Amino acid sequence: MLTDLLAKIKSSLKANQRDLYLAALVFFTSVASFGLGRLSAIWPEEEPIVIENPKSGIMNQGRDVNQIGLPSHDSSPMIPDSARGAYVASKNGSSYHLPDCPSAKQIKEENRIWFQTADEAKRAGYKPAGNCPGL
């Protein structure tokens, strides 16, 4: 009786040998993928790259280049908008904006005019921008 059972199991394994190999391959691939996923969760994270002074240029072969070796397009030091003024307008435009307004960000640096107050901008002939929230 036990020998008959073993014979049946052997014949069943031989008949389904290809399917069993495929099932084992899928199982071990799944286990390996899961293990690699768990390993990546505990992997130490890399420190982020921090650029401390992106606008300071260095001289390289007579050209002004920034720290990563690319030509510098703006040689003026980076001044935060809060130090320049509370409102900005374009030399070529007729409206003034808040510095964080999407339209203000489109004004070229060389065309920007800064105002400390809205009254100062109005006296210069500018009107509040219609698409700038908060004006």
Closest CA to 56 of 47, 44, 48, 64: 64
What is the arithmetic mean of pLDDT over 99-116? 91
Task: Name the pLDDT band for 59 (thresholds 50, 70, 90).
Answer: very low
Q: How confident is the model at residue 76 (pLDDT cuts 50, 70, 90)?
A: very low
In whole angstroms, what is the distance from residue 54 CA to residue 75 CA? 11
Q: How far is CA 98 from CA 71, 125, 132, in A?
A: 30, 16, 7
Q: Is residue 96 scored above 70 in pLDDT?
A: yes
